[in-house]
Amino acid sequence: MTSFGADSGGGSLGAVFRPQLPPERLRSVVRAADEAGLDQLWLWEDCFLESGIATAAAALAWSERLKVGVGLLPVPLRNVALTTMETATLRRLFPGRFLVGLGHGVQDWMGQVGARVDSPVTLLREHLDAMRALLRGERVTSKGRYVQLDGVALDWPPPTAAADTAVYAGARGPRSLRLSGEAADGTVLDANTSFAGIRRARQLIEEGRTAAGRTEHHQVVHYLTTATGADAAIRLRAELEREGHDPATGPGVAGDAATVAEAVRQALDAGADTVVLQPTADEPDPEGFVRFAAQEVGPLLS
């Protein structure tokens, strides 16, 4: 298991299966992660690559103990009742193993499919409020700007434990981060977030939590761009350049297990609860990458 305790600041370690890989590659990566003892595997629902729910269902079925997260599902593409039904079904089929996050979606992509909205923040808030209530087993009527529900309740809600009703939000800007603190149970920070950015995100999330009177712990998941192997520095530099970062100072880590473990510790110290190692788009060995995370980096954090 790659969960680690208080001596390292607490937290969990995960890795990403990037949807730039073909769907048929997922099974071997899932099996490698599960057998290696990785705690979490995270998936994306990016246009126009792979479905988050379909891949999550397959990954859960192909593994025995692996937690599977989707970060993120773009809410403009989705009806909240359907997303909640899918989430509740997976949480009943695979108790304690499915994590889900909602996001605005990339606005250009949303425009391509005719789903772009005038107020992405309003849409995300309405989805979060409705989905969390439905997962709690409530009957929901909503007459929001975007979310319209008339006496909707799940026939098969998940168990009422906090983990079974939790919904995360993906956030970058101040408004979205405050909203996540107010209306979500956790926040997913993408790989463009620096360690200083994690600290700032925690502050903004806390402002939202205070405004909403929330006191339970708010989980923060941080994606960390990671490259290892002989050409690690070259691949990380190229990845940072593709994302518009200065390759000398941009967020990410390249090196051996000790180097990566130190970067994970810095993310934890900055306020992350879970650090998810995100391979570069040209990672040559995705199965080896998840084994590296679980068997080489994880033990250094225990």
The pLDDT tens digits for 131-189 are 999 999 999 999 999 999 999 999 999 988 888 899 999 999 999 999 999 999 999 99
pLDDT tens, position by position, 72-113: 999 999 999 999 999 999 999 999 999 999 999 999 999 999
Task: Please state the domain extents for the chain.
Answer: 11-301
72 close to 83: Cβ distance less than 8 angstroms: no
140 close to 81: Cβ distance less than 8 angstroms: no
Q: What is the pTM of this model?
A: 0.95
Strands (E), the chain: 3-4, 11-16, 40-43, 67-74, 98-103, 140-143, 148-152, 168-170, 186-189, 219-227, 253-254, 274-279
> Which of 10-24, 135-149, 212-226, 261-275 has the weakest average pLDDT?
10-24
Residue 64 has pLDDT above 90, yes or no: yes
What distance lies between CA 302 and its chain's CA centroid? 22
Residue 5 has pLDDT above 80, yes or no: no
Level-2 CATH architecture, domain 11-301 = Alpha-Beta Barrel (3.20)
Residue 7 has pLDDT above 50, yes or no: no
